[in-house]
Amino acid sequence: MTQLTRALLDSELNELNQSILAMGSMVDAAIGNAIEALLAVDIAQAQAVITGDAEVNRLRFHIEERAYIILATQQPMARDLRTVITAMHMAIELERIGDHAAGIARIVTRLEGMPLPLLLVEAQVALQEEQGDESSEEVMDTLLDDEAGDHGPAQGKDVVPKRLKLTRLPKMAKRARDMLGRAIAAYMERDADKAMAIVKRDRKLNRQYRKFFAEAMAELSSQSVVEIPTYLLWIAHNLERIGDRTTNMAERTVFMVTAQYTEVLEEYE
């Protein structure tokens, strides 16, 4: 390979990397916005996440197209070839993560008009405490006043779920976004050890999901109306799948760096 050809290939590989970085940033923002829309039951914000998914899809196809062009025109070998293949798989996984974020947003749109459960209010407060934007007591008082004014006391079919710990959802989202950021960093830095470390974080996310699943099942077995617990369970499932997708990304990074296929098998408790 001549020096000019090497420089051209390096430039095209760098373009792929930058596109993966941009796509990761878009998907991360989509997850955050979807959870914020959930906690505020903000239909407009949820719709924005759904609409924005089209741009994520467009970028995925752009990355695949550039990868095919590199394969056809540069005929990369060894690690360069693995880098191109990995970039294509990263784009596919990121696009699927974007779909999960959009799926959460679509569920939020179904919550419009439903009474806001008290535990969802508590989850909003927990998020505010993490962000440090406002006093948690003021937020709680405001939200509880709004709930009482809009819906009155919960009666009949609007009984507040007692078993679901909705604070798990923003915590799961935070862990999933952290895993995503680490997966992108491992790819950009060509760090196989950092990629493998993501697996342990996925196990923690899976444990959170299993706990929420058990709580949701207990809730469903005790209430006559199951819509809200079911929707929230779907959201938790989307977050758990995001963790699985980031694990797939980590496995591809390990392949890119070491040329070894590594499949992580979850150890269920």
Banded model confidence at residue 41, pLDDT cuts 50, 70, 90: confident
Residue 243: pLDDT above 60?
yes
Q: Which is nearest to 261 in space by CA: 86, 70, 67?
A: 86
| Higher per-residue pLDDT: 154 or 243 | 243
Helix (H, G, I), strand (E, B) or coil at 114: coil
Q: Which is nearest to 167 in space by CA: 130, 206, 123?
A: 123
For residue range 161-217, what is the model confidence (pLDDT) as tens digits?
455 677 889 999 999 999 999 999 999 999 999 999 998 889 999 999 999 998 888
Mean pLDDT of 24-29: 98
| AA letter at 31 | I
| Higher per-residue pLDDT: 108 or 119 | 108
| Distance linking the first and last C-alpha atoms of the chain | 51
- Strands of the chain, DSSP E: none
What mean pLDDT, rounded, does the chain reach?
A: 84
In our burial notation (b when 16+ CB lie closer than 10 A, e otherwise), range 106-136 reads bbbeebeeebbbbbbbbbbbbbbeeeeeeeb
Express as a percent the part of the chain with pLDDT over 70. Answer: 77
Q: Which is nearest to 122 in space by CA: 164, 154, 172, 153?
A: 164
**Range in 50-54, 75-79, 218-222 the model is least confident about:** 218-222
Residue 149: pLDDT above 50?
no
User: Measured between alpha carbons, how far is 37 from 104 in angstroms, rounded to an integer?
Assistant: 9
3-state helix, strand, coil in the chain (%, to 5): 80, 0, 20
Residue 82: pLDDT above 70?
yes
